């Protein structure tokens, strides 16, 4: 079967003995050999718990290979003798979709499907609990993921377009305005500045910059942390944490907004002036909102390079979700970037919807009057698409991908990852969705960046 999948209900074959984790909080958790999500909240035993997982712990399969999803239903930690669950299998939550019911026997049912093209085969499960309402779980299998490619080729004038934007930016003086603000009492040895920079693209750069108080000229690696989706103040503590580790570091908010305002200030913008920022200007490549956002990332990287404490070599960028897409763009537009960490990146493969697969966040392409993707928007958004940016990245980059992520789908992330010509690595998390509330994840990111900075400062070969 071409460009589709097949499925069937299978009897239970064996027990895999994998742990159950919280569906609601499954992202960036330090879990090994797990390809399932569940309805359990991780805090107290649930009366009913439903889980689904792939047969293979790594959840990686070949085109045309059978993928078996094991569904488990327990009540008070005991297998439910009989029951019924509803399932849906899709191509990473895109059409075609097949659904049905599975009969639970001794706590288990299995559903099998296969995909005849590179991508992700996703299984969503729903159990109507008599006492807890609908309980959900999801799992996904990666199908020849290294063969996933962007939906559309790179525009012929893509590089020229961005070279033009960079020239416009270079012609505008940075005009940095740095206001020192008190460092937290529990963060000794750091200085902190509220920073604004002039920038093209419709808004200035606004963020916080921090450095060690004892930093000597040309001594410190530089790190830019870029923001996820939403409208908020720049992260104040982020750069301070890294300054305590010897970095000069900066965080910027995505929209060039003033820092330190009351929460109500940002909430009003989020529900008002910036409510539609994700799709603003999508019918014109020059006006698409993310073009300006990428220019702010580039200017922030230029600011870090202009600091006398910068070691002149180590320039890093990291972000997740929308920030992951910005990190890809920063690494593409600034060739002096030496390392990138991008987690669950958005802004990749918008045009997936034109090829019968999922489109990348924020899914900016609407349907026209004919019911087909708007061709004007398809064309305009290509110039901010992370899959095209990825082709320009020459420095080491590390991806972190969750297989059950509905916000920034793994299909779109692999479409970008696979076309990067430089050194790269990827960490697959089959059980993870979209979120970042686990402190172990951020500790891992911090350790990675610190170790990479040490390697690069000591002259080691660049590695992803």
Contact of 322 with 346, CB cutoff 8 Å: yes
**pLDDT score for 437:** 52
| Average pLDDT of the residues of the chain | 90
Rounded average pLDDT over 89-94 = 94
pLDDT at 131: 84
pLDDT at 375: 98
Cα distance between residue 462 and residue 460, in whole Å: 6
Question: What is the C-alpha separation between 387 and 357, in angstroms, rounded?
Answer: 15
Mark whether 255 is an active-site residue.
Answer: no
Q: Is the pTM of this model over 0.85?
A: yes
Q: Which of 311, 405, 431, 436 is catalytic?
A: 405
Under 8 Å between Cβ of 38 and 22: yes
Q: What is the pLDDT of residue 30?
A: 30
- pLDDT-derived band at 440 (thresholds 50, 70, 90) equals confident
Question: In the structure, what pLDDT confidence band is assigned to residue 464 with cuts at 50, 70 and 90?
Answer: confident
Residue 438 annotated in active site:
no
In 3-state terms, what secondary structure has residue 7? Answer: strand
398 given a catalytic annotation:
no
Confidence category of residue 41, pLDDT binned at 50, 70, 90: low
Phi and psi angles of residue 183, each rounded to the nearest 5 degrees, phi first: -75, 150
* Residues making up the chain, counted from first to last: 464
Percent of the chain with pLDDT over 70: 89
Catalytic residue among 38, 39, 234, 321: 321
Average pLDDT over residues 26-51: 51
Tell me the domain boundaries of the chain.
5-147, 158-457
**How many Cα atoms are found within 13 Å in the side-chain-facing hemisphere of 1?**
13
Q: Is the pLDDT of residue 66 over 90?
A: yes
- Mean pLDDT on 53-60: 98
158-170 and 322-333 helices cross at what angle (nearest 10)?
80
pLDDT band at 441 (very low <50, low <70, confident <90, very high): confident
Query: What architecture is the 5-147 domain classified under in CATH?
Result: Sandwich (2.60)
In this model, does residue 21 exceed pLDDT 50? no
Which listed residue (255, 398, 434, 436) is catalytic? 434
What is the three-state SS of 172-193? CCCCCEEEEECCCCCCCCEEEE
CATH superfamily ID and name for 158-457: Alpha/Beta hydrolase fold, catalytic domain (3.40.50.1820)
Whether residue 10 has pLDDT greater than 70: no
């Amino acid at each position: 079967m071409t460009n589709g999948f097949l499925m069937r209900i299978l009897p239970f074959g064996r027990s895999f003995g994998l742990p159950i984790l919280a569906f609601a909080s499954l992202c960036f958790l330090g879990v090994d050999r797990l390809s399932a999500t569940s309805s359990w909240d991780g805090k107290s035993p649930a009366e009913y718990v439903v889980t689904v997982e792939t047969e293979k712990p790594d959840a990686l399969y070949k085109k045309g290979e059978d993928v078996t999803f094991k569904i488990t239903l327990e009540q008070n930690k005991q297998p439910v003798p009989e029951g019924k669950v509803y399932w849906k299998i899709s191509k990473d939550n895109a059409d075609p979709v097949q659904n049905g019911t599975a009969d639970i026997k001794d706590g288990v049912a299995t559903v099998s499907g296969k995909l005849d093209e590179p991508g992700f085969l996703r299984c969503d499960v729903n159990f109507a609990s008599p006492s807890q309402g609908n309980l959900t779980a999801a799992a996904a299998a990666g199908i020849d993921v290294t063969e996933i490619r962007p939906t559309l080729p790179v525009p012929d004038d893509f590089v020229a377009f961005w070279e033009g934007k960079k020239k416009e930016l270079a012609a505008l003086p940075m005009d940095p305005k740095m206001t020192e603000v008190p460092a937290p009492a529990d963060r000794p040895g750091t200085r902190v500045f509220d920073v604004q920079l002039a920038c093209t693209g419709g808004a200035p750069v606004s963020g916080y910059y921090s450095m060690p108080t004892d930093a000597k000229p040309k001594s410190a690696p530089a790190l830019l942390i870029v923001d996820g989706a939403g409208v908020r103040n720049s992260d104040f503590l982020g750069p301070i944490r890294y300054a305590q580790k010897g970095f000069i570091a900066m965080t910027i908010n995505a929209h060039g907004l003033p820092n330190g305002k009351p929460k109500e200030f940002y909430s009003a913008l989020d529900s008002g002036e910036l409510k539609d920022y994700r799709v603003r200007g999508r019918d014109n490549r020059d006006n698409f909102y993310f073009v300006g956002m990428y220019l702010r990332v580039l200017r922030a990287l230029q600011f870090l390079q202009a600091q006398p404490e910068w070691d002149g070599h180590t320039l890093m960028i990291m972000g997740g979700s929308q920030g992951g897409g910005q990190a890809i763009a920063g690494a593409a537009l600034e060739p002096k970037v030496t390392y990138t960490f991008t987690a669950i990146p958005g802004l990749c493969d918008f045009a997936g919807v034109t090829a019968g697969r999922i489109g990348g966040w924020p899914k900016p392409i609407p349907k026209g009057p004919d019911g087909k993707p708007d061709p004007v928007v398809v064309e305009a958004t290509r110039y901010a698409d992370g899959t095209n940016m990825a082709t320009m990245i020459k420095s080491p980059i590390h991806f972190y991908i969750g297989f059950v992520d509905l916000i920034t789908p793994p299909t779109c992330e692999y479409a970008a990852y696979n076309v990067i010509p430089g050194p790269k690595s990827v960490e697959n998390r089959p059980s993870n969705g979209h979120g970042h509330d686990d402190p172990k994840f951020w500790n891992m990111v911090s350790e990675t960046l610190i170790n990479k900075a040490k390697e690069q400062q000591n002259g080691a070969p660049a590695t992803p």
